[in-house]
Amino acid sequence: MSKRSIRGRCFCGNIRFEVVGPEKFACFCYCESCQRAAGAPLVAWATYVRDTFVVTEGEFHWHHSSPGVKRGLCRNCGSSITYENDKRPGEIDIAVNCLDDPGAPIPRAHIWTEDKQPWLQIGDDLPVYEKNIG
Ligand SMILES: [Zn+2]
Ligand SMILES: [Zn+2]
């Protein structure tokens, strides 16, 4: 796959960003932190090279949701846009649904399903991990 610039934004558009794709990985995360941060039963994340990520408009509000973890939010609309973990320096996760084309990175796994709400059924054949991968 050839490298290309991918754009995205928060709900209100105050924050706009670019990153170079294709993504290194993409998955559905059901961890409790993502559920709370998004107010949703899961978040689809795509992982990119941190150095290629540029905020072109606006400024993040940082939420330190766990030790070594920061989530980039829009102060105005509350969109939960990015996730960075000190254990994975050089990488940034971007909420797939904040991309201009949310259909582009296709999730390849389900992670942290130990936190998944029982009323949500996984209906595909992707690999399932109770915790993180590896
Ligand atoms: Zn916003
Ligand atoms: Zn999560």
CA 123 to chain centre: 21
What is the distance in A from the centroid of ligand 2 to the CA of 74?
18
Residue 79 lies in a domain: yes
| Nearest ligand to the C-alpha atom of residue 66 | 2
Residue 123 lies in a domain: no
Residue 122 lies in a domain: no
In order along its 134 residues, the chain shows pLDDT tens digits of: 678 999 999 999 999 999 999 999 999 999 999 999 999 999 999 999 999 999 999 999 999 999 999 999 999 999 999 999 999 999 999 999 999 998 889 999 999 999 999 999 999 999 999 999 87
Residue 42 lies in a domain: yes
What is the distance in A from the centroid of ligand 2 to the CA of 22?
21
Q: How many domains is the chain partitioned into structurally?
A: 1
Residue 66's domain spans which residues? 4-115
DSSP class of residue 32 equals H
Separation of alpha carbons 2 and 19, rounded Å: 14
What are the tokens at 92?
A: 């940034």
Query: CA 20 → CA 7, 34, 108, 109, distances in Å?
Result: 9, 24, 19, 22
Q: Which residues are close to ligand 1, an ion, with C-beta < 5 A?
A: 10, 12, 14, 74, 76-77
What is the distance in A from the centroid of ligand 2 to the CA of 95?
10
CATH number at residue 37: 2.170.150.70
DSSP class of residue 128 equals B
What is the distance in A from the centroid of ligand 1 to the CA of 15?
6
Residue 120 lies in a domain: no
Residue 75 lies in a domain: yes
Residue 96 lies in a domain: yes
Output the pLDDT for position 10: 98
Residue 126 lies in a domain: no
What predicted TM-score, i.e. pTM, was given to this entire model?
0.95
Separation of alpha carbons 73 and 71, rounded Å: 6
Output the pLDDT for position 1: 62
